[in-house]
Structure 1
Amino acid sequence: MRVGTDEAAIVIVGSGAGGGTLAERLVAAGKNVVMLEAGERIEAGDWFQDDLKAFAQLSWLDSRVASGSYLAARVAPTMPAWIVKAVGGSTLHWNGLAYRPQAHELRARTVYGVVDGASLVDWPVSLEELEPWYGRAERRMGVTGTHGIAPHPPSSSFKVLRAAAERCGYRRVSNAHIAINSAPRDGRPACLQMGFCNQGCKINAKWSTLAADIPRAEASGRLDLRTGAQAVHIELDRRGRVEAIIYRDREGGEHRQRVAWLFLACNAIETARLLLLSESPAFPDGLANTHGHVGRHYMRHINALAFARMPGPVNMHRGIVTPGTIFDEDGHDPARGFAGGYLMEAVAMAPISLAMLIGGNDWGKDFTDFMASYDHLAGMLMNGEEMPRPGNRITLDAAVRDRFGLPVANVHVDEHPYSDVMRAHFRRRAGELYSSLGADAIRFGIPPSATHNLGTARMSRLPRDGVTDAFGRSHEVPNLLIGDGSLFPTSTAENPTLTIVALALRQADYFLRELA
């Protein structure tokens, strides 16, 4: 189905966890939807299982600028985030960890109190209110360990993590809550435990909107998916409602699509950038930005890596990339010297990626010997709650332009002091865990480019504190809704995809019930 550009349409920008879920729900309810996706359609059979080729094939490689004191500004100044530019968005390369947040994390301002240098607010919705949509999200994504869906067999990598946890007194360890089929489900096969699937699952055992939601939406005949379509400006009518969206095609041609309702789900960086590019007399500082929150409070999660050489073979590359997690450090314990908590996630990496992330400036014999023992290595990723800060923000860069002549996103981050304290705590714990099993060498690293981008158009109870209400509807523009990680008032310690999908399902229900 093709919607005419002069026909006022429901338009969704972005096809990832938020946009793809919204599209499927709306067309299932009989609505016609136009979806604008900046990337191309790349099917699973065409993906490379080689890190460097896959990175070039799937990644958003358009220019961006990293500034501030954080690592990306020093070592990856043009690559502050690693996200996908293709149909399905970053659900193509996510690792499938689908965890619900904790109740206290949605009340961070109340529970943590005033944190110097942070801009904490409580979420305008509680975990209890969100639980029905988490259940629906888990069922549609096939999250193991929920709703009777069996977990995967434990991989060697997870067995190392579990054994170390038991020796060190940790009690909450699991290889469940992963959105990768443990048995055939939803027309997709079971995982074959092939490994090296950070670039995407070649058989679509891992849930993605490309594998599940978008094909269902297309089968309805009501989805008009336009690829190579980069949204560049949002126009308002005299009433202050969105009237049209301007986008460029892959050849640079300009198009104008009339809008009845607009949903932005193009990642926290590009959603903020598009709002800032859409200035007008009514919004001289960017669309829906009267209170100055668009682009601010940017969060990525606090990350760190630990890899250890174990006494015997581990072969971490065989099986799911992130096959399980220790949850014992996820609570809020101010005695540790920071607010919030973190997860300790078993992780595998291909040799080239591992070398780049833990090599640093040390490329001598100790490092080459460590890498030569690749089959004996076990790895762990810290995923920690990051404090929102008003100065950590997306702005329009004054010097660098994209191929359409528009200013690119400048991603500025000065990390809160808690970040280094949390990383140091993780390193101590990771060292104790691996040493308990006889590891004879441990190396650490920090991923410079973010894969979780959050918080640049946050939800709030009051317009003065954020950009949207609890359903992602703009406080200021009545037919504008946001449906991606931009909505997060705080990052929580948990991976964000399940929450993005749950919020999108809730938003779709709200739209169909109250607005449409």
Structure 2
Amino acid sequence: MSAPFDLSDDSVVVVIGTGSGGGVLANELAQKGVSVVALEAGGRYLPEDYINDEWESFGQLAWVDPRTTSGDWRVSRDFPGLPAWIVKAVGGTSIHWAGASLRFQEHEFRVKTEYGDVAGANLLDWPITLSEMEPWYDLAEKKLGVTRTNDMPGLPGNNNFKVFEAGAKAIGYKEVHTGRMAINSTDYDGRMACQQTGFCFQGCKWGAKWSAAYTDIPRGEATGNLEVRSNAHVLRIEHDDQGLVTGVIYKDAEGNEQRQSARIVCVAGNSIESPRILLNSASNMFPDGLANSSGQVGRNYMRHTTGSVYGVFDKPVRMWRGTTMAGIVQDEARHDPSRGFVGGFELETLALGIPFMAAFLDPGGWGREFTSALDSYENMAGMWIVGEDMPQETNRITLNHDVTDAHGMPVADVHFTDHPNDTAMRDYAYAKGIEIYEAVGATRTFPTPPYPSTHNLGTNRMSENPRDGVVNNFGRTHDIPNLYVSDGSQFTTGAAENPTLTIVALAIRQADHIAGELSKGSL
């Protein structure tokens, strides 16, 4: 373990958050000899601590600090205090993620150019291209041990996948397989192969699924260059008269306020907490919050266009057995406006246990149709829709000064309203999901509304022009040269793919950039 750094040590890089962005960045910097203090709001849990029970695990891992919601999205009606389902622990949501690891497509980095003007959407091309990202995607896939890359075989298909695959092929889909997953299909990188236990969302008890919690974080600590402080809730970032950031104020595990000095600060608290910290760091010099001269901090919140479809069959499927996200259809992930919307979507298998099924299948709808659906649980198959939603300036994270958390900090209000493109895509995807299950004999199908968001994106977006966003192509804020954003909040647009692989690739690339700037003496 590394020796602790002094609170007054202003040579350290402070990383706020330890998930797929912050955890990877902290380790990558530590491996390059850079001193890092990582501040994590949650506690520390390892595979032996994870609980194979949905409610208990949720109580252990989930971020349940108060938040508020607004806008006309379904989540604000069904789950007003829980807009997002993310993890508050060392390793962040990389503990909870399903493992799907997909590269963005070329056109998804250039949506303003490719899609043209979409009324009401705040579209912008990324300031990077797929060809620039490819070497970093290569490194990310090796780090994560992604199946179907680098000669790693695909995972086996469970029953849920077999039903999904048969239906998808019956209606003419071709790109159907068990996915590119950061779940070991064979022993890899000192971690065992997947045991098909089925509690992927509750933390992988085998360590077969990649998570920063038990890969990058301990490796960074082993260098002696990384100190992780858990139960350290960041309140705000401070700066000097020149407008450079100088330190981070946080509450420690005992509730005492501490200040860690910093040479560089990297914010990786996810797309809700990162803008919350920047906005809460407002000062006389930065009255609208840090890095917010564009007014774009907190704006353009995206969560992917999601929903689920469940099918009931006359024979048992037992969808909960095996990998939670055990298969994918990628045929619809293209840009094809003839379908009535821009952008595309993936269909991915999904299984929920009985407790979450009861909470999510039809929130508030406890009638006979609902209970008879749960009676058929053993005979159910399930899939999830994940598609590109439109960034909108009005979908945003703001500070709600009327509600404060346990530390007295104003909570984040998550405002979201579906764009008509999102609604058109979801309706089309529901119809395709139903068609897939009906093609293989489903007796009933249940299109299910979106759950609390797991893919939280945008809110500190990359832009070439400082007027259009918050950070440049390396995640460096346009306004403050020693302040970076290192998580999914820097996404300019959302693409159709699950975001973690891109978050990891950007973190590896950002670490390379920061280490280079430090060695040149320009930071």
Segment of structure 1 superposing worse, 501-510 or 439-448: 439-448
CA contact (8 A) 2:78 2:364 kept: no
**For residues 482 and 366 of structure 1, what CA distance do their matches in structure 2 show?**
46
After superposition, what is the alpha-carbon deviation per residue over 1:455-512, rounded to whole angstroms, capped at 9, x for unaligned?
0100011101111100000111010111100110101010000000000001111111
CA contact (8 A) 2:87 2:95 kept: yes
**For residues 67 and 364 of structure 1, what CA distance do their matches in structure 2 show?**
27
Q: Does 1:53 align with 2:52?
A: no
Q: Percent identity?
A: 47
Aligned-partner SS, 2:48: helix
**For residues 195 and 492 of structure 2, what CA distance do their matches in structure 1 show?**
37
* 1:363-382 equivalences in 2 (<5 Å): 363-382=366-385
**For residues 289 and 367 of structure 1, what CA distance do their matches in structure 2 show?**
46
Which residue does the alignment assign to 2:409?
406
Which residue does the alignment assign to 1:6?
8
Segment of structure 1 superposing worse, 322-331 or 349-358: 349-358
Aligned-partner SS, 2:262: strand
Paired residue for 2:470, among 443, 467, 471?
467
Which residue does the alignment assign to 1:88?
91
Paired residue for 2:148, among 145, 150, 167?
145
**For residues 81 and 380 of structure 2, what CA distance do their matches in structure 1 show?**
31
Which residue does the alignment assign to 2:263?
260
Aligned-partner SS, 1:247: strand
Which residue does the alignment assign to 2:388?
385
After superposition, what is the alpha-carbon deviation per residue over 1:374-432, rounded to whole angstroms, capped at 9, x for unaligned?
22111010001000000000000031011122211011111111222111101111111
What is the letter of the counterpart of residue 447 of structure 2? F
Paired residue for 1:274, among 274, 277, 282?
277
CA contact (8 A) 2:24 2:508 kept: yes
Q: Does 1:38 align with 2:21?
A: no
* 1:39-438 equivalences in 2 (<5 Å): 39-438=42-441
**For residues 74 and 386 of structure 2, what CA distance do their matches in structure 1 show?**
16
Aligned-partner SS, 1:499: helix
What is the letter of the counterpart of residue 7 of structure 2? T
After superposition, what is the alpha-carbon deviation per residue over 1:282-305, rounded to whole angstroms, capped at 9, x for unaligned?
210000101100000000001111
CA contact (8 A) 2:307 2:451 kept: no
**For residues 151 and 83 of structure 1, what CA distance do their matches in structure 2 show?**
27
After superposition, what is the alpha-carbon deviation per residue over 1:171-215, rounded to whole angstroms, capped at 9, x for unaligned?
111213100011111111111111122111011110000121011
Aligned-partner SS, 2:480: coil
Which residue does the alignment assign to 2:491?
488
**For residues 356 and 5 of structure 1, what CA distance do their matches in structure 2 show?**
44
CA contact (8 A) 1:49 1:197 kept: no
Question: Please, which runs of 5 or more residues in structure 2 have no aligned partner?
Answer: none
Aligned-partner SS, 1:400: strand
Aligned-partner SS, 1:105: helix
**For residues 294 and 269 of structure 1, what CA distance do their matches in structure 2 show?**
11
Q: How far did residue 361 of structure 1 move?
A: 4.5
**For residues 499 and 242 of structure 2, what CA distance do their matches in structure 1 show?**
35
What is the letter of the counterpart of residue 237 of structure 1? D
Question: Please, which runs of 5 or more residues in structure 1 have no aligned partner?
Answer: none
- TM-score normalised to structure 2 length: 0.97
Segment of structure 1 superposing worse, 183-192 or 498-507: 183-192
Q: How far did residue 311 of structure 1 move?
A: 2.9
**For residues 51 and 238 of structure 2, what CA distance do their matches in structure 1 show?**
39
Aligned-partner SS, 1:355: helix
CA contact (8 A) 1:39 1:229 kept: yes
CA contact (8 A) 2:97 2:200 kept: no
Aligned-partner SS, 2:208: coil
**For residues 232 and 365 of structure 1, what CA distance do their matches in structure 2 show?**
47
- Pairwise CA RMSD: 1.1
What is the letter of the counterpart of residue 20 of structure 1? G
Aligned-partner SS, 1:381: strand
Paired residue for 1:506, among 483, 493, 509?
509
